[in-house]
Amino acid sequence: MDAGTTRFAAAGARPLPARLAWQARIFGAYFVQFLKMRLAYRMDFLVDTLAVGFSLLIQLAVLGVLFGKVSALDGWNFPQVLFIYGFSLVPLGLFNLVSVNLYGFADEYLIGGRFDRVLLRPVGSLAQVIFESFNVSGLNEILLGLAVMVHAGRELGWKLGAGFGVQDLMVLAVLAPGAALVYLGVFLALTTVSFWFEDKMGLAPPVYNLIRFSRYPITIYSLPVRVFLTFVLPFAWVAFYPAAWFVGGPHLAKVALLTPLVGAVVFGGAVLLWRRGVRNYVSTGS
Amino acid sequence: MEPLIRVEGLCKDYRLVDRREGVSGGLKDLVRPRRRLLRAVDDVSFTIEPGEMVGYIGANGAGKSTTIKMLTGILTPSAGTVEVGGLVPWRQRQQYTRHIGVVFGQRTQLWWDLAVVESFRLLKKIYEVDDATYERQMALFDELLETGKLLSQPVRKLSLGQRMRCDLAAALLHRPRVLFLDEPTIGLDVVAKENIRGFLRDIRQRDGVTVILTTHDLGDIEQLCRRVIIIDQGRVHFDGELADLRRRVGQTVSLSVELREPAGSDELAAATGALPVAWEAASGLRHVARFNRAEVRAAEVIRLVVNDRQVQDLHLAEQPIEHVVREIYRQAAAGGGA
Ligand SMILES: Nc1ncnc2c1ncn2[C@@H]1O[C@H](COP(=O)(O)OP(=O)(O)OP(=O)(O)O)[C@@H](O)[C@H]1O
Ligand SMILES: [Mg+2]
């Protein structure tokens, strides 16, 4: 631009593919940076991995004990429940992978004023916050979830091509990220609240505890609870509904396909809330 | 020429909650918090032409940082408009920030845990700086700011002055058209300050970059800015050339005289006779005369003194800018305002 012009280059002149490629490059670079930093603290990584794996094994054991006594849960047999459980771990892992910065958001970004720096960069503010840090132990959950699903599938007598086709794999590849969007949307909405209220604690921890209810077939709950988990706090969509594609009846299987839509709506709503929140950001006095 | 920066009727209100003391106070706060609005920036308007370097000054809490944060798209104004290069900072933030560089002296914009060079590489990717430009800019920064030696250190291990140099370099890596500096020399020693001032002068000559800087060190202003905007309690109290500011407050100058033999100030006062000159004994043989240049010519005072006494040495000094600014604040506080 020559010195005479007083107008900056036109807005959004770039085509979408170029924009997306640029974003992908940046977040790739963020990820590489993150790994470099992580490798400097190798022990942490190891401990994280062990801790998460251990706690998941305990939860599985509990489930095993539970089903040692009752062989079926309201019409669902053990392998089916196990499959739902295994499925629930995949979106949870995806979500955990990218959500670390949401929990500490108020402390790390708002109160410390670190959000100033985020806003000074020509990249989406939410994307920066999400991609600035990763929780690698999310990968454990994903792997464990896949293993549990494979195991449950075997118990159900599935084989690749018989009972579980390539189509199912593709559906899994769409539903799991869709379900992760539900998580992300819910917790993003809760995080956004800190743009208006200074309170550090927030609602995220109690809500996080409710996640465990989503790992069982929701038909075991009373109607109000089912309505609540489907429409209000839509955790039924993070495991039960999508997993029903594989283990539910034909009716539920259709409902399962709505998961990405629900994810998009919940996450989209949270993003709108975030944008309003950013306009409310007040930085710090010094 | 069309202005590059256009600010009109800009206001920012902060919502404050006054906390009460003790447990009962805490409970009351919970039930009915005492809220009030603080107008930190109040109806500020100005325009800035491309290539200008403007000092934005005022006392603590005057609203400087708040203004800068609105100009850089961090804060959304409560009222008024900002347009820089045809863009509205907070509304078109992502496109806008490609064209500006920002340094907050108080807080680094770099990634705390990363080596400086890693931060630069990330910025290179984010701003899509091509390899040739990147190399050229890095060489320039090393030449002018000596950043080369610092590159391998993590930001958190740098001293304040080193960090500030890196922050400046990072803000300029993508060759922005506008540079916002909020207290870029805070906490630096005299040499470091001089370096930064020299760098800013250089960069402005090279790239014609437009600069707004806030500072409490009026040395920055005297050396860098022709134009100053003074704000107090969120309002603009002066906007114009530094020279005008001096003229407006009164161009008081001081003439310091060293005599060969001791004499009383009253004797010197008698020598300058009817002229409105205030004499004051300094130390030993030195005396200082203060007068307004608009009323009294310095040559006349010197002539009268030299005719009357044996003079060893003479020194004529402008009133330092600190006094000028203090005078503006005083006028503002007295309600004299603009
Ligand atoms: N995030 C905030 N929340 C509430 N009040 C704020 C906030 N930031 C600034 N203020 C208030 O707004 C006023 C202006 O602050 P600002 O930081 O803009 O002043 P400043 O001119 O930069 O001062 P300094 O020279 O001390 O840096 C002050 O009264 C300050 O207390
Ligand atoms: Mg300030």
pLDDT at B337: 43
Alpha-carbon gap, residue B273 to B289, rounded angstroms: 13
* CA distances, A246 to each of A44, B1, B73 (Å): 37, 68, 48
CA distance B121 to B128: 10
CA A216 – ligand 1 centroid, Å: 51
**Can you tell me the distance from the alpha carbon of A154 to that of A169, in angstroms, rounded to the nearest whole number?**
15
What does chain B come to in residues?
338
> Which pLDDT value is given to residue B80?
97
Whether B114 sits inside 8 A of A6 (CB atoms) is no
pTM of the model: 0.84
**Location of structure tokens 């920036």:** B41
Sign of CA dihedral A102, A107, A109, A111: positive
pLDDT digits (tens, 9 = 90+) for A59-114: 777 767 766 666 667 778 888 888 898 899 999 999 998 888 888 888 889 887 88
pLDDT (tens digit, 0 to 9) for every residue of chain B, 338 residues total? Answer: 689 999 999 999 998 888 788 888 778 777 787 888 999 999 999 999 999 999 999 888 999 999 999 999 999 999 999 999 999 999 999 999 999 999 999 889 898 888 999 999 999 999 999 999 999 999 999 999 999 999 999 999 999 999 999 999 999 999 999 999 999 999 899 999 999 999 999 999 988 999 999 998 888 988 999 999 999 899 998 999 988 887 777 667 889 999 999 988 888 999 898 888 889 888 889 999 988 877 888 899 999 999 999 999 999 887 766 677 777 777 777 764 44
Tokens 């020429």, residue? B1
- Domain, as residue range, for A267: 71-280
What average pLDDT is seen over chain A?
84
- Give A286 Cα–ligand 2 centroid separation in angstroms: 6
User: Mapping DSSP to helix (H, G, I), strand (E, B) and coil, where does residue B16 land?
Assistant: strand
Q: Is A3 on the interface with B (CB under 8 A)?
A: yes
Question: What phi and psi, each to the nearest 5 degrees, are found at residue B56?
Answer: -115, 105
B85 CA distance to ligand 1 centroid (A)? 26
d(CA A126, CA B265): 70
B332 vs A23, B58, B59, CA distance in Å?
A: 50, 11, 12
Return the residue whose CA atom lies nearest to atom 9 of ligand 1. Answer: A285
State the nearest Cα–Cα gap between B208 and chain A, in angstroms: 7
Task: Show residues of chain A in contact with B72, CB under 8 Å.
Answer: 119-120
CB B269 within 8 A of CB B242: no
How far is the C-alpha of B64 from the C-alpha of B331, rounded, in Å? 19
Residue B180 · residue B97 · CB < 8 Å: no
Residue with the larger pLDDT of the pair A48 and B90 = B90
Q: Is A13 on the interface with B (CB under 8 A)?
A: no
**B49-246 in CATH: which number?**
3.40.50.300
Confirm or reject contact between A286 and chain B (CB < 8 A): yes
Strand partners, B104: B107, B182
CB atoms within 10 A of CB A85: 21
- The amino acid occupying position A219 is T
Ligand 2 ion local residues (Cβ < 5 A): B 65
Assigned domain for A27 exists: no
Q: Is residue A175 part of a domain?
A: yes
The sign one gets for the Cα dihedral B196, B201, B207, B209 is positive
CA–CA distance, B301 with B313 (Å, rounded to integer):
14
A282 backbone dihedrals φ, ψ, rounded to 5°: -115, 0
Task: Determine contact, residues A11/B92, Cβ cutoff 8 Å.
Answer: yes
Q: What is the pLDDT of residue A10?
A: 58
Q: Which residues contact A256 (CB under 8 A, 6 or more apart)?
A: A171, A175, A241, A242, A243, A244, A245, A248
- Residue-wise pLDDT for A4-19, tens only, equals 567 887 545 678 888 8
d(CA B105, CA B163): 9
Determine, yes or no, domain membership for A58. Answer: no
In Å, how far are A122, A270, A271, A272, B162 from A278, measured between CA atoms? 15, 12, 10, 10, 32
* Domain coordinates in residue numbering, chain B: 49-246, 251-318
Q: Which pLDDT score, from 0 to 100, does residue B287 have?
A: 92
Considering CB atoms only, which of B4, B50, B109 is closest to A120? B109
Full 3-state SS string of chain A:
CCCCCCCCCCCCCCCHHHHHHHHHHHHHHHHHHHHHHHHCCHHHHHHHHHHHHHHHHHHHHHHHHHHHHCCEECCEEHHHHHHHHHHHHHHHHHHHHHHHHHHCHHHHHHHCCCHHHHHCCCCCHHHHHHHCCCCCCHHHHHHHHHHHHHHHHHHCCCEECEEECHHHHHHHHHHHHHHHHHHHHHHHHHHHHHHCCCCCCCCHHHHHHHHHHHHCCHHHCCHHHHHHHHHHCCHHHHCHHHHHHHHCCHHHHHHHCCHHHHHHHHHHHHHHHHHHHHHCCCCCCC
Give SS3 for B117.
helix
Structure-block tokens of residue B315: 């020194």
Q: Given phi > 0 = left and psi -120 to 50 = alpha, else beta, which region is B65?
A: alpha
Report the distance separating Cα B324 and Cα B250, nearest Å. Answer: 8
Residue among B212, B227, B195, B229 nearest B100 (CA): B212
pLDDT band at A119 (very low <50, low <70, confident <90, very high): very high
Query: Do A121 and B96 meet the contact criterion of CB atoms below 8 Å apart?
Result: no
CATH topology of domain B251-318: Alpha-Beta Plaits (3.30.70)
Residue among B76, B97, B109 whose CB faces A122 most closely: B97
A214 and A240 Cβ atoms separated by less than 8 Å: yes
Q: Does A22 touch chain B (CB under 8 A)?
A: yes
DSSP class of residue B296 equals S
- Whether residue A268 has pLDDT greater than 90: yes
A131 lies in some domain: yes
Q: Look up residue A200 and give its two tokens.
A: 């550090």
Q: What residues line ligand 1, using a CB cutoff of 6 Å?
A: A 282-285; B 14, 38, 40, 58, 60-66
Looking at chain B, list the stretches that DSSP marks H as alpha helix, in order from N- to C-terminal side.
Answer: 22-31, 64-71, 93-96, 116-126, 131-145, 160-172, 190-207, 218-224, 242-249, 265-272, 298-308, 321-333
Per-residue confidence band for A2, with pLDDT thresholds at 50, 70 and 90: very low
| Total number of domains constituting chain A | 1
Cα dihedral value B320, B325, B326, B327, nearest 10: 100
Pick the more confident residue, B38 or A208.
B38
